[in-house]
Amino acid sequence: MSESAPILEINKINKYFPGVRALFNVDFRLFKGEVHTIMGQNGAGKSTLVKVLTGVHKHDSGEMLLEGKSIRPDSPLAAQKLGISTVYQEINLCPNLSVAENIFVGRQPMKLGRIDWKELNHRAEEALSRLHISIDVTQLLSSYSIAIQQMVAIVRVLDVSSKILVLDEPTSSLDETEVEQLFKVIRKLRDDGLAILFITHFLDQTYRISDRITILRNGELVGEFKTEALPKLELIAKMLGKELSEFSYDITGGESRKEITGADREAKNLLQVKELGLRGRIAPFSLDLDEGEVLGLAGLLGSGRTEMARLIFGIEVANRGEIHVRGKKKDINAPRAAMLAGMGFCSEDRKNEGVFSELTVRENIILALQGARGIFRYIPKKKQLEIADELIKSLDIKTPSANNEAGQLSGGNQQKLMLARWLATNPFILILDEPTRGIDVGAKVEVMELVLNLSRQGMGVIFISSEFEELIRCSTKIAVLKDKEKIAELSGEEMSESGIMHAIAGGK
């Protein structure tokens, strides 16, 4: 790597948020004429690094050198003036203005105190044609596809002084042909000598577009690699923080779930999902869930696990496909419909989508059951207390009493509280989205044991976790997702960390 000096050099940068170390001694380099991708799991520090670079956050220590000069932008505007142009994930444009207006808003060419429309449109056309895009710039922005809008956003932030272009998840709402369109533009800009920093969750896209990859994990730098020198499998291993050699042995010592599947082939089918999909959220997928099965959903963050769960539970409504519960076709168009069909769902976002912190533990537990019964078939207080006390005892929820506010419980106990809410409704299908996230190790084990117990009693469980180890321990089969698509289903011997890794990497 004997290139010229990097245009951007970040040395030993640190950033702390209250109670969190977001970046720890991170180094980063960016060269002219290359596309550099930052990769990492959720919370790895990708977005913090970008925000420090673009002036949204200020770093606590370390230095940033732009063309050898130390910089410390204190606002996005300051960063833009330094030549760091950023296109954020959500397009910050006005759909009700024309393309040309969007490009030049705030810096319109003026003539005699009025906007020079001719000049404005002309310049807009010129700017777009540099990227080989020819469209009618006087049309409303909203009349064009998201991909074109994305490019307009790029053109807007680029000007003569731009040295670095930061693209934050630009492809998340694009379809395949649109992505290719965008990549063409990115390659063109790269060849013109721009330094491009690209952030994405999509593995395949990383390999298609980037020249160099930097991996972060838990706020620390894992390493910087030339794309061609980093096999996909190794990239995944580094993102997750496992040595490649670790994948070569299977966890056979741990509790294996194979006995259950093998023993009872008579098990009745609980849930059958046929080609369920929603454009822009997740590609059509099919699933089967029998009595006593635990179906694990594996994949990297943003791979579509949550979308899958939400589609099944009717939080988002599929625009194609069918759901059959116990052999009967069900029209699941709302969580209520899913609940009445016999499902329960614990969201990954406990705080905003699960726990009612100002209601009592008893009310939190009883709510879904009461919801199923409706307003008038009121469960008397005494009965409520009985149900709550029983679940508090069987799930070992640590609370002074059933009448304490749920907000006072610890994360692990709140998680169990949500499980209790659904168990009270006596579902036969339970969907758990990251039930082990953000709770301590002891609680994790308890939650997993609970999942195993429920499945032994015949419940069908869909279990989402970022920890492959947990999935393997709990699941009877594992569906693997990548880039919003179900790509494989593993069972039996294939269920191993290396098996999942290989499936995600796309090669066996």
| Shortest Å distance, C-beta 368 to another protein | 4
Do β-strands 164-168 and 110-111 pair in parallel, antiparallel, or remain unpaired? Answer: unpaired
Pick 243 or 358: Cβ nearer another protein: 358
Q: Between residues 335 and 438, which has the closer beta carbon with respect to another protein?
A: 335
Minimum distance of another protein from residue 295's CB (angstroms): 20
Specify the long-range contacts of residues 404-408, CB closer than 8 Å, at least 24 apart: 404/360, 404/361, 405/357, 405/358, 405/359, 405/360, 405/361, 406/355, 406/356, 406/357, 406/358, 406/359, 406/360, 406/361, 406/363, 406/364, 407/355, 407/357, 407/358
CB-wise, 348 or 494, nearer to another protein?
348
Quick one: 418 or 501, whose CB is closer to another protein?
418
Q: In terms of CB distance, is 41 or 347 closer to another protein?
A: 347
Query: Of 488, 483, 466, 486, whose CA–CA distance to 202 is shortest?
Result: 483
CA–CA distance, 399 with 406 (Å, rounded to integer): 9
- Residue 344 and residue 328: Cα distance in Å, rounded? 18
Which of 396, 457, 390 minimizes the C-alpha distance to 430?
457
Minimum distance of another protein from residue 34's CB (angstroms): 42
Nearer to another protein, 8 or 406 (CB): 406
Q: Which backbone phi and psi does 461 adopt, to 5 degrees?
A: -125, 135
Toward another protein, which CB reaches closer, 265 or 382? Answer: 382
* Per-residue DSSP letter, 297: E
The distance of closest approach from Cβ of residue 363 to another protein in the complex, given in angstroms and rounded to an integer, is 6
The token pair at 229 is 């020198």
Q: How far is the CB of 352 from another protein (least distance, A)?
A: 6
Q: C-beta of 187: minimal distance to another protein in Å?
A: 41
Would you tell me which residues interact with another protein (CB under 8 A)?
313, 315, 334-336, 338-340, 345, 347, 352-359, 363, 366-368, 370-376, 378-379, 421, 425
Residue 379 per-residue DSSP state: P
- The answer to whether residues 182 and 87 touch, using CB atoms and an 8 Å cutoff, is no
We find the least distance from the C-beta atom of residue 336 to another protein, in angstroms, to be 4
